[in-house]
Each structure stands twice: as C-alpha cells, then as structure tokens.
Amino acid sequence: GYRARSAYKLKQLDEETDLLDPGDTVVDLGAAPGGWLQVAAEAVGEGGTVVGVDLQRIEEFGDHDIETLRGDMTEERTRHYLREAVGEGGADVVASDMAPNMTGEYNLDHARSVHLARQAFDTAEELLASGGDFVVKVFQGEDLDPFRDDVAASFQYVRTVSPPASRDASSEVYLVAKGYTESPVAEGD
Ligand code: SAM
C-alpha cells in the first residue's frame, strides 16, 4: 500500500497529463511521508531516479531506490544539495505537493501556498532539462492567476487540474506545466 492517500492524486495527475515515464529523473518537493515517491518510483522503474525533499524526515524505503533529503526548500542550502543529488543531466519532472501549516485564515494560507509554489517554480527552473514537466499544488485565490501566467511563460503550456482524489480537500488545485522551454541553469557556486 501507499504511505499516504495523496499518492492517488499523483496517479490521477499522471493519468490525465502523462507526466511520468520509465527512465525519468523525478524530483518531489514536500515529499513526506512518501506516497508520491512510491508512485513515481513505480512509474520510472529501475532505470529511473527519484529524489524527495521535505522538512520532515522521510522513512527509508526498503523496496525502492529512492533518495531523500531533509531540508527547507525556501533555503538556498537545500537547493544546493538537491542540485548535487540530481546531477548534470537535470530532471525530467519536478513535482511539488508542498503545503503550508494551515491557520484557517484563507488569505494567509493562500499567500503562503503561493510562496511555496513559487519556490518550487524557481527550483524547477534550476533543475529541469529542456522539455521537462512541472506539477505544483497551490490553493486557489487572487495570486493564482499571476503565478500561472509566470509559469506559462517558461513552458509550452499549463493546465489547471483538480484530480478526483483532491476534490474534497479545500481549495487546492494543481498546475501542470509541460515542456520546459529553457535549458537548465549551469550550476553556480
Ligand atoms: N505528497 C506527499 C505524499 O504523498 O506523501 C504529501 C505531502 S504533504 C501534503 C505536504 C508536505 O510539504 C509536508 O510534509 C510538509 O512538511 C512539506 N513542506 C511544507 N513546506 C516545506 C518547505 N518549505 N520545504 C520542504 N517541505 C515542505
């Protein structure tokens, strides 16, 4: 079984938008406890690579070859380790299911969600190989459209998807951006 029900969201996103292929290198941001990592590892198979990052420690996987990092994606240090883990070939898919701690205050939760989504977008631009895909969770609200426009500028197209497994849950949607149109940034420092 999967470690989290959210695994089904990634499965549905993949079915609808064809994100994950055998041999892919997949980066998963906000990966704990590891449901998406399990789905990604199954899809990419033996020849693929899966790297997950979270603030929380992710328990090791016995049956899959999944690399995990503990860190805060808003810190450059974490992004540095992640670039090292992914290596020169870059990533085929960057996925983010990151969510802020909910306060219940709609505007604040929305703003924090968009902030995390923008961090994920920056990371996608650092890591994605040309033609790569980006999927990111974001709570609906006034900053969603401007964010979507910014993402659209770097990809062939963007879709807003609400997978059936997430329809109960609040205001979350996923942006699925396909076909990254810029080459990955050379590794700095
Ligand atoms: N997709 C995961 C799965 O299938 O198991 C569930 C992810 S859960 C909805 C959201 C995660 O985002 C939490 O584990 C949280 O710790 C993580 N997160 C939130 N802010 C983060 C940050 N700044 N850096 C890294 N992870 C973060």
Instruction: State how far the alpha carbon of 33 is from the alpha carbons of 60, 71, 121, in Å.
Output: 10, 14, 22
| Catalytic residue list | 137
pTM, 2 dp: 0.95
Which tens digit of pLDDT belongs to each residue from 83-111? Answer: 999 999 999 999 999 999 999 999 999 99
- Across the chain, which distance is largest between two alpha carbons, in Å? 44
Cα 37 from chain centre: 10
36 is in an annotated binding site: yes
- CA–centroid distance, 101 to ligand 1, in Å, is 10
- Under DSSP, the state recorded for 23 is T
54 is in an annotated binding site: yes
Q: Find the mean pLDDT for residues 168-184.
A: 83
- Please provide the CATH number assigned to the domain covering 7-180: 3.40.50.150
Q: How many Å apart are CA 107 and CA 123, to the nearest integer?
A: 24
Which tens digit of pLDDT belongs to each residue from 57-68? Answer: 999 998 788 999
Cβ of 183 closer than 6 Å to ligand 1, yes or no, is: no
The complex's ipTM works out to 0.99
The ligand 1 atom nearest the CA atom of 32: 14
- CA–centroid distance, 38 to ligand 1, in Å, is 15
Cβ of 120 closer than 6 Å to ligand 1, yes or no, is: no
Burial label, 61 (beta-carbon count in 10 A; 0-12, 13-18, 19+): middle
The ligand 1 atom nearest the CA atom of 73: 24
Q: How many Å apart are CA 70 and CA 19, to the nearest integer?
A: 25
Q: What is the pLDDT of residue 62?
A: 85
Domain-by-domain residue ranges, the chain?
7-180
State whether the Cα torsion 126-85-30-155 is positive or negative: positive
Which tens digit of pLDDT belongs to each residue from 141-158? Answer: 999 999 999 999 999 999
Predicted confidence (pLDDT) at residue 24 exceeds the cutoff of 50: yes
Mean pLDDT lowest among 59-63, 128-132, 134-138, 151-155: 59-63
